[in-house]
Every structure is written in structure tokens, then in C-alpha cells.
Amino acid sequence: MRYRLMIFDWDGTLMDSVARIVACMQAAGRDIGWGELPEASVRDIIGLGLPEAIAKLCPGIDPDRAEALRSRYAYHFVEGDVTPMPFYPGVAEGIARLRGDGRTRLAVATGKSRRGLDRIFRESECGHWFHASRTADETRSKPHPQMLEELLDELGVPAEEAVMIGDTEYDLEMARALGMDRVAVTYGVHAPDRLAASRPVFTAEAFPELIDWLHA
């Protein structure tokens, strides 16, 4: 196994939730009268904490309207939208393969809230896959490296023995700030050339390919 600790992004890396995130954010924008938010713009902010995502998506939005957008997005994501959110092909099998080593630690670093991640853990019955997790509302949003620093400290693993895996430049840049190895997956939201700018040590086009490389 290449690393003692493997840290995964969630949306666009493990779970195919991008379509639901886009649909819910667009619905929320219409609800508050902001207008139609372009799909490409919504995809671009996936991975950021929700306050940071809204600020980037809606420049100049006032605090009250930002809170209204956040509230309506949460409503649509939890109750109002039924777009399926499956794991990407090979995720369950791949995680089981990594856990089978018995020594490797697995963690999640996500732009979701703690409440949102815990809900997904319950619904997907996958919380036991991971030894630790950090969300954007309990630390600093990506690309700041604080959530990675906290995970390294909690699990007692130095940065040189860990890797961050994600589908956005936000994932890769927070690892790069610590000098941590980073792996890009190209089936998520950011284009391969954008990911390449962060100099990943490996780029995977599918999850099984990623697992083969990690397990080598």
C-alpha cells in the first residue's frame, strides 16, 4: 500500500451527487429571485463550503439573501429533490479492498456540513468505512489546508505518508499547501487540464484505476 492515510473528497469523488447539487442550487436561486444560475458556474463551486460557494457563485449578494439561498438549497437537497446519488462504479468494492489491509487509515475531507455528511453516512450506511472526517463548517473551507492538518493530527500520520484524492483544484491545492501528495480523478467536476495545474502525482479516469494505483 502506497500510503498510511488516504483522504477522500466526497461529492464528485466518491458519490455521484453533482447533478443533484446543481439542480438544488438552481432551484434555490429561482426561489429567492436571483435568476437562473448557470450549470457550469454551480459545478465550479462544488467542493467549497456553502458560504464560500454562495459568495463565489453570487458576487455581491447581501447576507440576508445569502442566508435565504442557503436555506432553500438545504431544503431542496434534503426534501425537495429526488435526483439519485449513487456511489461511482467501484467505490464500495474499492474501499473494502483498501480497508482489508488492516493498517491503512481512510478519511473524508469535504465541503459538506457535518449535519449533511452524517446524514449521507446514515442513508448510505457507509460511515464505518472511515476512521475520521472533516467538514467545512467545523474547520476552514477548501482550499485552506486546515481540515487536512486536523485529520493528520487526529490520526497521527505525517503529511509525507498521506494522500488527498479529489476531483477539484480545491482538493488538490489544500494538499499542495502542505506538501502532501495529491491524486486527481477526472470523472468529477473540474477539467483534467485544470487539475493538472496542481501537479497531482497520479490522475485516474475511474475509481477502480485509482484503487489499483493506491494498492500497488
Active-site annotation holder among 9, 16, 171, 181: 9
Active-site annotation holder among 11, 16, 167, 181: 11
Residues 6+ apart with CB under 8 A from 70: 28, 50, 51, 54
Q: Strand pairing partners for 204? A: 185
28 and 73 Cβ atoms separated by less than 8 Å:
yes
- The question of whether 171 is a catalytic residue gets the answer no
Question: What order of strands is seen across the sheet that includes strand 202-204?
Answer: 132-135, 105-110, 5-8, 162-166, 181-185, 202-204
Q: Which helix (H) or strand (E) holds 135?
A: strand 132-135
- The question of whether 9 is a catalytic residue gets the answer yes
Q: What is the CA radius of gyration of the chain?
A: 17
The torsion angles phi and psi of 55, rounded to 5 degrees, stand at: -60, -40
CA distance 215 to 98: 7
Per-residue burial over 37-50, b if 16 or more Cβ lie within 10 Å, else e, is beeeebbbbbbbbb
209 and 89 Cβ atoms separated by less than 8 Å:
no
- HSE (CB half, 13 Å, CA atoms) of 119? 10
CA distance 64 to 71: 11
Catalytic residues: 9, 11
